[in-house]
Chains A and B, each alone.
Chain A
Amino acid sequence: MRIVVASGKGGTGKTTVAASLALAAAEWEAVRVLDCDVEAPNAALFLHPDLNQRKEVGILLPVVDETLCTHCGRCAEVCEYHAIAVIGKKTLVFPELCHGCGSCTLNCPEKAISERLDVMGVLESGPTPGGIDFARGMMNVGEPMAVPIIRELKKWNDMSLRARSAKQSPPIVEEIASGENAPRNDNETGRLLRWEERPPRNDIIEIRDAPPGASCPVVETLRGADFALLVTEPTPFGLHDLKQVTEIARELGIPAGVVVNRDGIGDNAVEAWCAEVGLPILMRIPMERRFAEAIASGKTLVEAAPEYRGKFFALLENIRARVAV
């Protein structure tokens, strides 16, 4: 199950919610966190992964072999982004316009185009002390496009899983768990199984921390997700951007629900709008000084206020039920 935590407006608490949801879920589930805010990834500040894997990523740029090129112009015709131009007897490539789609290479009748990797950033991954598979993208300063990095980050899964089996992470929860909510206990000892001991599950919980805004990087983060968890604050700005991201999720056919953070400030327009359009409010986090202090000191909500562990796990169950429908 893939859950995207998005917001539109920046600073509403996406990372706060994503990190706490991941920590709560990881007590029972195999959890992967992808920090897709590649321009300013900050989930690592709260989850403390050991980033032991690193890979450079980017897009494949066309390289034209002028000895083979007949300047027929087919490449320029098929390029959606006008990143390749044929002028008389010259074929020009504009790297900063190229999206790396490969259409020119594929369509060149002379096979005169090869491709080279243009590095735009890095992917870093590794386990967190809480046993979460963590990966993030980091865009190089000055790069204009975040989408290719996010796209590569979403494919990162296999490599990080290999890293996980190669390295034994510390156990998540060693306390004895009982009852029907502990299906993965060892039958003989009753000890909660560590993630590496658990039977493989198909439904790893993947939590993607989205970038702010409502442009291409957010769309790419949402693409392929099962649920959009939209964090907002009850202010006109929060509502304005919530509407935009809700529209993107709707367009992509992804069910959505809302977390109202800093509940109690602002007005009740978010609540009224959610009721009007039938968008469920799944959680409310009140505006409290102790939360702000905890987050400012690098703690997550579930660490600062342990009662939120249960609330976040209930949120996860709620989402799972909505995705199953």
Chain B
Amino acid sequence: MKIVITISGNTIDSPFDPRFGRAAAFCLMDTETGAWTVHENPALSASGGAGVQAAQFIAKLGAQAVVSGAYGPNAADTLSPAGIEMYLAPAGETLTAAEVLELFRAGKLSKTEAATHAGHHGDGH
């Protein structure tokens, strides 16, 4: 299974980034083989709609699930129809992507069906 973990670095040992749309990068992993690649988040500097853009991007990567710390309404509304499952990892602890992957494999991460917070749109406009 291919999953994406939001990270703030460029390797599997980089820290987990609890933001979804504004995550620095996405670590794409194969849960069976452990193979991984890192992809910069094209939505990082978007003026708006970062969640939508990031969700489309990981859909194109072929991810079937994503692990992040939170999902906005637009991100959730794009990920759900794409059939990408949304998992939550604790934002408070300092975890690496590799450690998050272990938690995922062990079935210790909770799943969410909907957005975990309200949208950011309108902030600062």
A residues with CB within 8 A of B:
76, 79, 81-83, 85-88, 90, 92, 94, 96-97, 144-146, 215-216
Q: Which of B52, B122, B124 has the most CB of A within 10 A?
A: B52
A265–B83 Cα distance when bound, in Å, is 62
Q: Lowest 8 CB-CB distances: which A-B pairs, in order? A: A82-B49, A144-B122, A87-B82, A82-B52, A82-B53, A97-B49, A90-B81, A85-B52
Q: Which of A79, A85, A90 has the most CB of B within 10 A?
A: A85
Q: Does B74 contact A (CB under 8 A)?
A: yes
Q: How far is the CB of B37 from chain A (nearest CB, A)?
A: 21
Contact bitstring B81-94, A, C-beta under 8 A = 1, else 0: 11100000000000
Question: In the assembled complex, which residues on chain A have CB atoms less than 8 Å from the CB atom of B43?
Answer: 82
Q: Does B64 contact A (CB under 8 A)?
A: no
Question: In the assembled complex, which residues on chain B have CB atoms less than 8 Å from the CB atom of A144?
Answer: 121-122, 125
Q: Does B99 contact A (CB under 8 A)?
A: no
A94 and B74 form a contact (CB under 8 A): yes
A82 and B46 form a contact (CB under 8 A): yes
B125 and A215 form a contact (CB under 8 A): yes
* CB<8 Å pairs between A and B, sample of 9: A85-B53, A85-B55, A85-B56, A86-B56, A88-B83, A92-B77, A94-B52, A144-B122, A215-B124
A97 and B125 form a contact (CB under 8 A): no
Q: Size range of the interface on B?
A: 20 to 34
At the interface, is chain B mostly helix, strand, loop or mixed? loop
Contact bitstring B23-59, A, C-beta under 8 A = 1, else 0: 0000000000000000000010011111011011001
A83 and B52 form a contact (CB under 8 A): yes
Q: Do A145 and B56 contact each other (CB < 8 Å), given the known contacts A82-B49, A85-B78?
A: no
Q: Which of B43, B74, B77 has the most CB of A within 10 A?
A: B74
Q: Which residue of B lies closest to A216 (CB)?
A: B125
Q: How far is the CB of B72 from chain A (nearest CB, A)?
A: 11
Question: In the assembled complex, which residues on chain B have CB atoms less than 8 Å from the CB atom of A92?
Answer: 52, 77-78, 81
A-B contact sample (5 more), CB < 8 A, given A82-B48, A86-B56: A82-B56, A85-B78, A92-B77, A92-B81, A215-B124
A88–B122 Cα distance when bound, in Å, is 29
Find B56's partner among A76, A96, A97, A215 (CB 8 Å cutoff): A76
A83 and B81 form a contact (CB under 8 A): no
Question: In the assembled complex, which residues on chain A have CB atoms less than 8 Å from the CB atom of B81?
Answer: 87-88, 90, 92
